[in-house]
């Protein structure tokens, strides 16, 4: 089964994500990820950032696949798919 998490970063307003599934316990934009945890969480859009991570903490979806889909101005710029290999799985 494939789960899709739709992501959007609006450069003109606050960063947000749409979380369509109850098994997502955390989903945040961050400047970095250290020891599998997001660091310097981004709460507002900042076009000066060179690199942005989208960190997702997934629960109880072992065996499923999710996709982080990056959109800009309504167009898909990147898709990264992940196989969920544990009952708690973190991806970025």
Residue-range domain boundaries for the chain? 2-91
85 versus 3: the higher-pLDDT residue is 85
pLDDT at 76: 93
Tens of pLDDT, residue by residue over 3-21, are 444 333 333 233 445 555 7
Whether pLDDT at 88 is above 90: yes
Contacts for 33 with CB less than 8 Å, ≥ 6 apart: 39, 53, 55, 92
pLDDT at 10: 32
How is 40-51 classified by DSSP, letter by letter?
EEE-S--TT-S-
- Listed range (12-26, 43-57, 63-77) with the worst mean pLDDT: 12-26
pTM of the predicted model, to two decimals? 0.72
Indicate the average pLDDT of the chain: 81
Nearest to 9 by CA among 91, 80, 75: 75
């Amino acid at each position: 089964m494939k789960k899709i998490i739709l992501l959007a970063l609006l450069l003109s307003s606050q960063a947000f994500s749409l979380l369509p599934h109850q098994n997502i316990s955390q989903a945040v934009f961050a400047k970095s990820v250290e020891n599998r945890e997001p660091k310097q969480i981004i709460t507002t859009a900042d076009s000066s950032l060179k690199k942005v991570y989208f960190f997702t903490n997934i629960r109880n979806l072992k065996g499923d696949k999710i996709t982080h889909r990056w959109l800009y101005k309504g167009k898909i710029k990147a898709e990264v798919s992940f196989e969920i290999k544990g009952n708690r799985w973190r991806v970025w």
